[in-house]
Amino acid sequence: MHFAFKIHHHPCFCSPIIMARGRTLLFSVLIFVAFTQIRTLVVVAGEPQVPCYFIFGDSMVDSGNNNGLVTAAKANYPPYGIDFPQGVTGRFTNGRTIADIIGQFLGFVNYIPPYATVTNQEISTGVNYGSGTAGIRDETGSQLGDRVSYDKQLLNHAKIISRLSLLQHNVTFTQEYLKKCVYISVIGNNDYINNYLMPDNYPTSRIYTIDQYASVLAKQYSKQLTTLYKLGARKIAVFSLGLIGCTPFEIAQFGTDGRPCVESINDAVSRLNNRLKPLVDDLNNDFSDARFTFINLTSISTPPEGVTLPTQPCCQLRADGQCVPNSIPCPNRNLTIFYDGFHTTEIANTAFATRSYTALSPMDASPYDISHLAQL
Ligand SMILES: *[C@@H]1O[C@H](CO)[C@@H](O)[C@H](O)[C@H]1NC(C)=O
Ligand SMILES: *[C@@H]1O[C@H](CO)[C@@H](O)[C@H](O)[C@H]1NC(C)=O
Ligand SMILES: *[C@@H]1O[C@H](CO)[C@@H](O)[C@H](O)[C@H]1NC(C)=O
C-alpha cells in the first residue's frame, strides 16, 4: 500500500473546501459573496444566455439521481434541503448546489432536472446526470451501493441526445443546438474518498503510487471528456477536485497534526488537480472548435490572507459522515462552511459558483470563467 491512511465508510463526497485557521472574517466574506451573487443575478435576469445546460458529476451536483438507487449515499431525508424551496430533493446540502447557482447565473429560471425523473418536455434545456459517490472509475463508490458512474452518465447523455433528436425532428439542428449548451463536469473526489483512500475495499493503493494513480485518472478522464466532445459538447467547464483533506470527516478521522487540514490527503489530490489544466489545454489543441476550461476550486475556496474559516459541520453526523436523519441542524447556516461531514452549505456553494462564473483571480478559471464560456 502506498498510501498511509485507512479510511472507512465515506458516503459521498463533496468538496471544495476552505482552509481552516479560525473564524474571524467569515461573516464579512460571506456577506461579500451574497452581494456579488445578487448583483450578478440582476444582470442576467431575462432570457438564459445559452439554450441549454448539462451537468455531470458527483454529490456536489446530484439533485436526486440517487434517490431511487440502492445505496447508503443518498440525501433524500431531512435535514437535507431545509433551505431549499422544494425541501428534500436528494441534494447533499441545506439549499442549492453549485450547479443550481451557476444555472441561475446563466439565466435559467428553473433548476435543471435530474436524469432519473426528467421528461421529454424538459430535456431541451438540459439534464443533470450527477450522482453521489460516482467517480471517474466505474468501481468507485461501490462499497456503499449503486451509483451512476461517469461512464454511465455519458451513456445516459447519449440516450438523452437520441430523445432530443426525435423531438426536434432534425439531426443537423440537434447537433448545432448541442454545441451552444454549457456543460459542467465535477468528478474525481470519490476516486479518492470512496476508492484510493479505502484500502480495505479497493486495491488501487496497492497497485498504484499516488502519482501513478493521478496519472491513470487523468488519462481516463481525458478519454471521457473526449467522448463528451464527440457527443456534441463544445463549451465545457472542468472543475478541479476540492481540498478533501479539509473536510470535517477527514479531519476527525486523521487529525491534522496542528495544521488546518490533513495535508497528506490534499497533497494526493493535488497530483490529479495539477494534471487537469494541461489536460484541458491538450483537448483545446486537439479539437480546434472545443472550448474546454479549467475551474480551480483550490484557488476559489482558499480565503484571503489572514482570514480563517470554521470547519465544524452544521448537522449532527452519522458514523458515515452524512447528517443524522431528522436531526435539527445549526441555526446559523449562512455562517457555516460545511453542512455535513463532506458537503458544503448553500452559502459556501454560492461563493464557489460566484467565482467560477466571474473569476476574481486569473487563477480561478482558465482560459475562461463560465460567464465568458457562455458567450463564446
Ligand atoms: C435542419 O436544421 C438545419 C440547421 O438548423 C437547417 O439549416 C435545415 O433547414 C433544417 N432542415 C429541415 C428539413 O428543416
Ligand atoms: C489553483 O490554485 C492554487 C491556489 O491558488 C494554485 O496554487 C494552483 O497553481 C492553481 N492551479 C492552476 C492549474 O492554475
Ligand atoms: C442566507 O443566505 C441566503 C442566500 O444564500 C439568503 O437568501 C438568506 O436570506 C440568508 N439568510 C439569512 C438569515 O441571512
Q: What is the mean pLDDT of the chain?
A: 89
In the reported structure, the alpha carbon of residue 227 is separated from the centroid of ligand 2 by a whole-number distance in angstroms of 26
Protein residue with least CA distance to atom 2, ligand 3: 334
pLDDT reported for residue 308: 66
Instruction: Give the mutation target among 267, 269, 276, 299 for probing the ligand 2 site: most ligand atoms within 8 A of CB.
Output: 299
* Residue entry with cell 449532527: 316
Pocket of ligand 2 (CB under 6 A): 277, 296, 298-299, 302, 363
Task: Report yes or no on 203 lying in a domain.
Answer: no
Task: Report yes or no on 213 lying in a domain.
Answer: no
Task: Report yes or no on 313 lying in a domain.
Answer: yes
**Pocket lining: 326 vs ligand 1, CB cutoff 6 Å:** no
Task: Report yes or no on 19 lying in a domain.
Answer: no
Task: Report yes or no on 16 lying in a domain.
Answer: no
Within the chain, residue ranges assigned H as helices are 26-44, 98-105, 150-168, 171-179, 189-191, 204-207, 210-230, 248-254, 263-286, 297-301, 346-357, 370-375
**Pocket lining: 35 vs ligand 1, CB cutoff 6 Å:** no
Domain that holds residue 73: 25-96+108-177+218-251+271-375
* Averaged pLDDT for residues 111-134: 97
pLDDT of 118 > 50? The answer is: yes
The pTM assigned to this predicted structure is 0.89
Sheet holding 291-295, edge to edge: 53-57, 182-186, 235-239, 291-295, 365-366
Phi, psi of 184 (to 5 degrees): -120, 150
pLDDT tens, 67-105? 999 999 999 999 999 999 999 999 999 999 999 999 999
Instruction: Give the mutation target among 36, 84, 334, 337 for probing the ligand 3 site: most ligand atoms within 8 A of CB.
Output: 334
Task: Report yes or no on 361 lying in a domain.
Answer: yes
63 a catalytic residue: no
Cα 235–Cα 240–Cα 244 angle in degrees, nearest 5: 155
Q: How sure is the predictor about 45, in pLDDT bands with cuts at 50, 70 and 90?
A: low
Protein residue with least CA distance to atom 13, ligand 1: 170
pLDDT reported for residue 260: 86
pLDDT of 338 > 90? The answer is: yes
In the reported structure, the alpha carbon of residue 168 is separated from the centroid of ligand 1 by a whole-number distance in angstroms of 10
pLDDT tens, 285-336? 999 999 999 999 999 988 777 776 778 999 999 999 999 999 999 999 999 9
Q: Which ligand is nearest to the CA of 274?
A: 2
The number of domains in the chain is 1
Closest C-alpha among 127, 50, 54, 41 to residue 373:
50
Task: Report yes or no on 230 lying in a domain.
Answer: yes
In the reported structure, the alpha carbon of residue 363 is separated from the centroid of ligand 2 by a whole-number distance in angstroms of 6
364 a catalytic residue: no
Task: Report yes or no on 352 lying in a domain.
Answer: yes
Contacts of 125 (CB under 8 A, 6+ apart): 48, 51, 52, 53, 108, 110, 112
pLDDT tens, 162-219? 999 999 999 999 999 999 999 999 999 999 999 999 999 999 999 999 999 999 999 9
299 a catalytic residue: no
